[in-house]
A and B are shown apart, each in its own frame.
Chain A
Amino acid sequence: MKNRLKVLRAERDWTQARLAEELDVSRQTANAIEKGKFDPSLSLAFRISRLFGMRIEEIFEDEG
Chain B
Amino acid sequence: MNDTKTIHDSRASRTRRNTAWLAGWTVAWLVSMALAVFGPRFIWDSNLVLTIPAIALNLVIGFGMILANIRHLKGLDELQQKIQLEAMGFALGVTVVVGLAYSTLDVTNVIPFDAEISNLVILVALTYLAGVLVGQRRYA
Residues of chain A at interface, number, CB under 8 A: 16
Q: Which listed residue (A21, A22, A40) contacts B78, Cβ 8 A?
A: A40
Please provide the 7 A-B residue pairs with the shortest distance between their CB atoms, ordered closest to farther. Answer: A29-B79, A32-B139, A25-B77, A21-B8, A29-B77, A24-B8, A38-B79
Q: List A contacts of B80 (CB < 8 A).
A: 26, 28-29
Chain A residues at the B interface, C-beta cutoff of 8 Å = 20-22, 24-26, 28-29, 31-33, 37-38, 40-41, 44
Residues of chain B at interface, number, CB under 8 A: 15
CB <8 Å contact, A24 and B82: no
Q: Which of B6-35 contact A (CB under 8 A)?
A: 7-8, 11
CB <8 Å contact, B77 and A37: no
In this complex, what residue of A is CB-closest to B136?
A: A28
- How far does the alpha carbon of A45 sit from the alpha carbon of B96 in the complex, in Å? 37
